Amino acid sequence: MNKPYIVYDSTGKIIKTGYCDEKLFYAQIMNEGESIIGGIANDAIHSIDPITKKIIPRAIPVKVKERRPERSENTEEISEINDLFEYIGAVDQGDIELVASKDIKTAILKICRYLTLIKRNRK
């Protein structure tokens, strides 16, 4: 009599499924690290829990589309300043070296946003 089988690896990934004669059940294992259980599963949606040896739903990765912020006139001005800081590493003024750190960059961007809002409200 044919018996349904599921061959899986040590992570629980299903390698193959099918039916075979009971005498050939363990002959379905072809490689080291593979195991076999009786049952019916779909490798596209199932995996095997290596500890309990039960069929479980497979975790299917979901692609999340990254949302890009909408651009307006105000954000373009800020973006240009942001791009400028990408090119400026340090400015040498005599004995003093000014470094464009993240905190300074953030403060300048906040000031620019504030000034842009004031400019827009005056129109």
The values of phi and psi at residue 102, to 5°, are: -60, -40
pTM for the model stands at 0.49
- Give me the mean pLDDT over the 69-96 stretch: 48
- The answer to which of 20-24, 93-97, 115-119 has the lowest mean pLDDT is 93-97
pLDDT for res 111:
73
Number of helices (H), then strands (E), belonging to the chain: the values are: 2, 7
Q: Confirm if 42 and 9 have CB atoms less than 8 A apart.
A: no
pLDDT for res 52:
94
Evaluate if residue 16 carries a pLDDT over 50: yes
How distant, in Å, are the alpha carbons of 6, 35, 54, 56, 119 from that of 51?
A: 15, 12, 8, 12, 65
Helix, coil or strand: residue 38: strand
pLDDT, tens only, 93-115? 443 444 555 666 666 777 777 77
Q: Percentages helix, strand, coil for the chain, rounded to the nearest 5?
A: 35, 25, 40
- Give me the mean pLDDT over the 26-47 stretch: 93
- Give me the mean pLDDT over the 117-121 stretch: 71
pLDDT for res 34:
95
Of 81, 89, 83, whose CA–CA distance to 109 is shortest?
Answer: 81
Evaluate if residue 48 carries a pLDDT over 50: yes
What are the residue ranges spanned by the domains of the chain?
A: 2-57, 73-122
